[in-house]
């Protein structure tokens, strides 16, 4: 049986007829209705330990767009023309910057967890400080990046930070609280159907700064501060009551979902020692799929390895290859020579299947397919070099 990269498994509205009927009877389908309000409170309490506030949005890209625009409004200067970000990420981050008429300024990533490299960030901050409107780090594949460093950046440089935490909803930091808890800037999560916290389309913006969430709420509702009175730039970024119901239902079984995904990932780690994985960090990491790196000597054989895996009934992908700076629309803003680690990691990325209902037998089938593909395409008479990326 073919094993897909992901198998969406949102909560079943068909089993929630009574809740749907309540929405219909209230005739309150959007505009921050009661289901939405209750969900935002639950997320603030259960995920973020009651610290700060949450705002739902129709999707995470809209969340990034309004959060970046709010950051620009805080630095209203014509010289602010860049959004500083890693290139090893999904295109949504760069697109959100472009919609705000900012050019992506790409920093390199580190060799450890594949998130923005502090030294590369610092060089660009020093060189372009007066031109940077916002810093947009990526919590790579749900990894709990160091937000204390970004608080320091906000303080030292006076530049707002918007965290792209698309895959991180469910990640628990070492202090036992959800990733992002206490951060004074905006942290944007996705609830897309392919994420661990799967709905259909949806997003969540968190901040410990209640005033920031209040402003973003207004921006997501046409900029209205009072009924029919736009006091700031805005758009329609609201999440419907039915979509929020899906999110509320997912919250009920989310711990079980996370446990299953973590179990499968640990099975991969144990069974595939030749591949590199992100190091374990915090108490729990949300896993959308399973990002790995091939050993250096297999990089040029990646297409053939994937083809052999498909022949054996296992799908795979290459998140993030091409990385953003390699993509056609963004090449004009990119200096690929300054991104050596990004180029290396992207060239060896191999993404393995992971989904809520995945069985141990299916995971072992994936392992067998990877092992067979590596054996078939192993370069002759080579010893395995030290892997660039840490493995734990």
Convert the chain into a string of H (helix), E (strand) and C (coil).
CCECCCCCCCCCHHHCHHHHHHHHHHCCCCCCCHHHHHHHHHHHHHCCCCCCEEEEECCHHHHHHHHHHHHHHHCCCCCCCEEEEECCCCHHHHHHHHHCCCEEEEECECCCCCCECHHHHHHHHHHHHHHEEEECCECHHHCCCCHHHHHHHHHHHCCCEEEECCCCCCCECCCCCECCCCCCCEEEEECCCCCCCCCCCCEEEEECCHHHHHHHHHHCECCEEECCEECCCCCECCCCHHHHHHHHHHHHCHHHHHHHHHHHHHHHHHHCCCCECCCCCCCECCCCCEEEECCHHHHHHHHHHHHHHHHCCECCECCCCCCHHHCHHHHHHCCHHHCHHHHHHHHHEEEECCCCCCCHHHHHHHHHHHHHHHHHCCCCCCCCCCCCCCCC
**CA atoms within 13 A of residue 331's CA, in its CB half-sphere:** 5
Could you read off the pLDDT tens digit of each residue along the chain, which spans 392 residues? 699 999 999 999 999 999 999 999 999 999 999 999 999 999 999 999 999 999 999 999 999 999 999 999 887 776 789 999 999 999 999 999 999 999 999 999 999 999 999 999 999 999 999 999 999 999 999 999 999 999 999 999 999 999 999 999 999 999 999 999 999 999 999 999 999 999 999 999 999 999 999 999 999 999 998 888 999 999 999 999 999 999 999 999 999 999 999 999 999 999 999 999 999 998 999 999 999 999 999 999 999 999 999 999 999 999 999 999 999 999 988 999 999 999 999 999 999 999 999 999 999 999 999 999 999 999 986 544 444 444 44
**CA atoms within 13 A of residue 233's CA, in its CB half-sphere:** 11
Architecture of domain 13-252: 3-Layer(aba) Sandwich (3.40)
Pairing of strands 229-230, 349-352: unpaired
Distance CA 97, CA 13 (A): 35
Q: Where are the domains of the chain?
A: 13-252, 254-376
Q: What is the CA radius of gyration of the chain?
A: 21
Architecture of domain 254-376: Alpha-Beta Complex (3.90)
Other C-beta atoms closer than 10 Å to the C-beta of 24 total 12
Residue 350: strand pairing partners: 292
What pLDDT sits at residue 1?
64
């Amino acid at each position: 049986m073919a094993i897909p990269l992901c198998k969406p498994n949102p909560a079943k509205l068909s089993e929630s007829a009574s809740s749907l009927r309540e929405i219909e009877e209230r005739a309150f389908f959007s505009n921050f209705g009661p289901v939405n309000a209750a969900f935002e409170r639950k997320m603030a309490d259960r995920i973020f330990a009651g610290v700060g506030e949450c705002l739902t949005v129709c999707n995470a890209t809209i969340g990034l767009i309004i959060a970046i625009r709010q950051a620009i409004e805080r630095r209203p200067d014509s010289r602010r023309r860049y959004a500083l970000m890693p290139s090893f990420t999904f295109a949504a981050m760069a697109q959100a910057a472009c919609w705000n008429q900012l050019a992506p300024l790409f920093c390199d990533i580190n060799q450890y967890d594949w998130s923005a490299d502090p030294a590369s960030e610092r060089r660009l901050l020093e060189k372009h400080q007066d031109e940077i409107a916002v810093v947009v780090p990526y919590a790579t594949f749900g990894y709990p990046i160091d937000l204390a460093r970004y608080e320091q950046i906000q303080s030292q440089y006076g530049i707002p930070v918007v965290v792209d935490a698309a895959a991180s909803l469910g990640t628990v930091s070492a202090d036992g609280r959800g990733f992002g808890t206490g951060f004074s800037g905006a942290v944007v999560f996705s609830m897309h159907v392919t994420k661990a916290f799967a709905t259909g389309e949806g997003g969540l913006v968190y901040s410990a700064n209640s005033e920031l969430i209040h402003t973003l709420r207004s921006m997501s509702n046409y900029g209205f501060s009072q009924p029919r009175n736009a006091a700031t730039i805005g758009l329609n970024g609201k999440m419907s009551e039915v979509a929020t119901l899906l999110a509320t239902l997912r919250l009920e079984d989310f711990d079980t979902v996370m446990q299953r995904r973590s179990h499968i990932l640990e099975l991969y780690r144990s069974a595939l020692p030749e591949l590199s994985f992100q190091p374990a960090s915090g108490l729990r990491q949300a896993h959308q799929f399973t990002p790995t790196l091939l050993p250096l000597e297999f990089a040029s054989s990646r297409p053939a390895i994937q083809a052999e895996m498909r022949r054996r009934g296992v799908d795979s992908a290459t998140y993030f290859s091409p990385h953003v700076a390699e993509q056609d629309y963004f090449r004009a803003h990119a200096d690929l020579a300054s991104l050596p680690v990004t180029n290396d990691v992207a060239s060896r990325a191999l993404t393995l299947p992971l989904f809520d209902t995945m069985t141990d037998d299916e995971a072992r089938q994936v392992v067998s397919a990877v092992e067979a593909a590596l054996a078939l395409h192993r370069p002759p008479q080579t010893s395995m070099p030290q892997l660039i990326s840490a493995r734990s």
